[in-house]
Structure 1
Amino acid sequence: MNLLKLITTDNAPTTLLIRLVVGGVFLSEGIQKFLFAKAQGVGRFEKIGLPNAEVLGPFVGTTEIICGLLILIGLLTRFAAIPLIIIMLVAITTTKIPMLEDGGICKMLHESRTDWAMLLCSIFLLMRGGGAFSLDRRV
Structure 2
Amino acid sequence: MFQKTLKTDNAGSTIIIRLMIGAVFLSEGIQKFLFPEKLGAGRFAKIGLPNPDFLGPFVGIFEITCGILILIGLFTRLSAIPLLIIMLVAMATTKMQLYIDNGFWSMLHDSRTDWAMLLGSIFLNIKGGGRWSLDKSLWNQNKSL
Category of TM-score, reference length = shorter chain: over 0.9
Partner of residue 98, structure 1: 97
Farther-moved stretch of structure 1 (122-131 vs 93-102): 93-102
Q: Secondary structure at the match of 1:120?
A: helix
Size of the alignment, in residue pairs?
138
**In structure 2, how many angstroms separate the alpha carbons of the residues matched to 1:34 and 1:125?**
26
CA RMSD in angstroms, aligned pairs only: 0.3
Whole-Å separation in 2 of the counterparts to 1:22 and 1:111 = 18
Ranges of 4+ aligned residues in structure 1 off by more than 4 Å: none
Partner residue of 2:23? 24
Kindly provide the CA deviation profile for residues 20-71 of structure 1, in whole angstroms up to 9, marking residues without a partner as x: 0000000000000000000000000000000000000000000000000000
- Partners of 2:19 and 2:3 lie apart in 1 by 23
Residue 131 of structure 2 corresponds to which residue in structure 1?
A: 132
Query: Following the alignment from structure 1 to structure 2, what is the Cα–Cα distance between the partners of residues 100 and 73?
Result: 36
- Which letter does structure 2 place at the counterpart of 1:106? W
After TM superposition, the structure 1 stretch with the greater mean CA deviation from structure 2, 39-48 or 94-103, is 94-103
In the alignment, structure 2 segments of 5+ residues that lack a partner are: 139-145
Matched residue, 2:34: 35
TM-score normalised according to structure 2 size? 0.95
Give CA-to-partner distance per residue, 1:77-123, whole Å, 9 cap, x none: 00000000000000000000111111111110000000001000000
Distance 1:25 1:99 in 2: 23
Within 1, Cα distance between the matches of 2:120 and 2:105? Answer: 22
- Where in structure 1 are there 5+ consecutive unaligned residues? none
Deviation at 1:126, TM superposition (A): 0.1
